[in-house]
Homo-oligomer: A and B are copies of this chain.
Amino acid sequence: MSRELYFMQEAIKIGIEGMNNNAGGPFGCVIVQGDTIVGKGCNKVISTNDPTAHAEVSAIRDACKNLNTFQLNDCEVYTSCEPCPMCLGAIYWARPKKIYYANNRQDAANIGFDDSLIYDEINTSLENRKIPISCIGREDALKMFDEWSKKQDKTEY
């Protein structure tokens, strides 16, 4: 068995455990650095009442905590399903070097986990979104951005 398949099977195992424990849906993820699993997570939306607790977000948070960093540059992500837009965003902010997935988004839709609405909405102009979105208070918020630009002791990221 290739190392990649080994790590994917670990991700799937974690997903199965989470599903059987009623943590959430059938999704697992591991983060690998070199040949070591440095973070792992399953979907915990139901058990933690946290809609952001997808497997990838959980695994990224775990890996970052374990490695004491908010960047996973030299890591690989093994996720048992193609990431939804939220998780893809989380992965890009964490900046790993490679992503492996097993089930694809159509497989997920086939069992009732359909993220095509979110993919579509990201490409829809703000005026035509299904959840209405409006701009308000930009003048005040720009002052905060201006303060950030001038801030001397900031950590850029």
A13 to B114, CA, bound (A): 36
Tell me the A residues contacting B by CB distance below 8 Å: 4-5, 8-9, 12, 15-16, 19, 22, 25-26, 45-46, 49-52, 57, 60-61, 64-65, 68-72, 80-82, 84-104, 107-108, 110-112, 115, 117-119, 121-123, 131-138, 140-142, 144-145, 147-149, 151, 153-157
Known: A25-B157, A51-B71, A61-B50. A19 touches B134 (CB 8 A): no
Known: A22-B155, A61-B52, A136-B8. A145 touches B92 (CB 8 A): no
Q: CB-nearest residue of chain B relative to A126? A: B82
A72 to B142, CA, bound (A): 28
Chain B residues with Cβ under 8 A from A149's Cβ?
Answer: 111
Chain B residues with Cβ under 8 A from A19's Cβ?
Answer: 144, 147-148, 151, 154
Cross-interface CB contact of A89 among B82, B86, B156, cutoff 8 Å:
B86
Cross-interface CB contact of A144 among B22, B26, B72, B151, cutoff 8 Å:
B26
A93 to B101, CA, bound (A): 21
A64 to B133, CA, bound (A): 21
Are B71 and A142 in contact, CB atoms less than 8 angstroms apart? no
A18 to chain B, nearest CB (A): 10
